[in-house]
Amino acid sequence: MKSTPSSRMCARLCAAIAAILAAVGAIFGSLMLLVNYDAGVGYFKSNALTVIFTLFYVGGVIWLLLSAFIVKKDGLNTTPASDKPNGVFELIAAATVLAVSVIWGILYFVNGQSDTVAVATVACGILSAFYFASFFFRARKAVPTANVVALLGFATVLWLISIVAYMYFDNFVTMNSPIKTLLVFGLAAEMFATLADVRHLIGRQLPRYSLGAHSIALFCGCASSIPVIIYGIISPLADPHYTAAAFAVLGLSALSGVRLYTIARGECSDSPDAFPEPTVDIQEETTEQCE
């Protein structure tokens, strides 16, 4: 089912706002790290600029969340598939995730870390790469059912959680470090975006949740990853795990941008390459739960 004109127009507006906020957030965050960050103490120098950036970041998230839930859910297409060529962007995301997972594994090996958590983190990262790659192969009817892909999606969520846990329990970087805080928020946003796609795969899609999750993932992902990457290039971070995580967030936020483009166009669910609608008729039940 294609999106209705009104819902499509609102979705396009929400996607456009998310893209603008993402661009502004990336620029603002980069300037904050390059000009206002004191690497010696791990904090921003100016409290005033910190407050402004925090208000912008939090305000952007709230605005996108409210904007998504203003959109009429009836007829809103949230099929998790890229525009033609279908699945290519997911394949790029898979390559990014796999590269980051391999780098994390190498860093664990070099640092002498071979505990269960380290192994599980790398394993979930590899499964995450298979999850994103499966979208490319499903478009060509070359992998198993959507339920199998959904299980890989939960592995992706676990992978993102493990990265957040690594940063949270990292005592070598101050808890309130803006680099750590930015990446944690970016990773959390990507988790919710991944869950939105997994819900669709298991037939429990929530259209407005998907729109809001991918809008916030695009904004938070760009505003979090790009500043850290730019700062890391100019002044390499002491822990390469953070730079690698930033690239993962950037890749997933770019994929969320593709999702938003698909939702805004509202044309993908009728495509033979898109995921088929669930066979169980739960649309009315889901609608009642949303209300």
DSSP 108-132: HHHTT--SHHHHHHHHHHHHHHHHH
Amino acid at 222: C
Per-residue pLDDT of the chain (291 residues; tens, 9 = 90+): 444 546 677 778 888 999 999 999 999 999 998 888 887 777 888 778 888 998 999 999 999 998 888 877 665 655 554 444 467 888 888 899 999 988 888 888 877 766 777 888 888 999 999 898 888 777 666 666 777 888 888 999 999 999 998 888 888 888 788 889 999 999 999 999 999 989 888 888 788 888 899 999 999 999 999 999 999 899 888 888 899 999 999 999 999 998 888 887 764 433 333 344 333 443 444 444 444
- Whole-angstrom distance, CA of residue 200 vs CA of residue 197: 5
Give, as one character, the DSSP assignment of residue 174.
-
Nearest to 226 by CA among 243, 244, 250: 250
Predicted TM-score of the model (pTM):
0.82
Evaluate whether 2 touches 269 at the Cβ level (below 8 Å): yes
Instruction: Please give the distance of CA 131 from its chain centroid, rounded to a whole number.
Output: 14
Give, as one character, the DSSP assignment of residue 235.
S
Evaluate whether 223 touches 57 at the Cβ level (below 8 Å): yes
**Both tokens of residue 160?**
């993102």
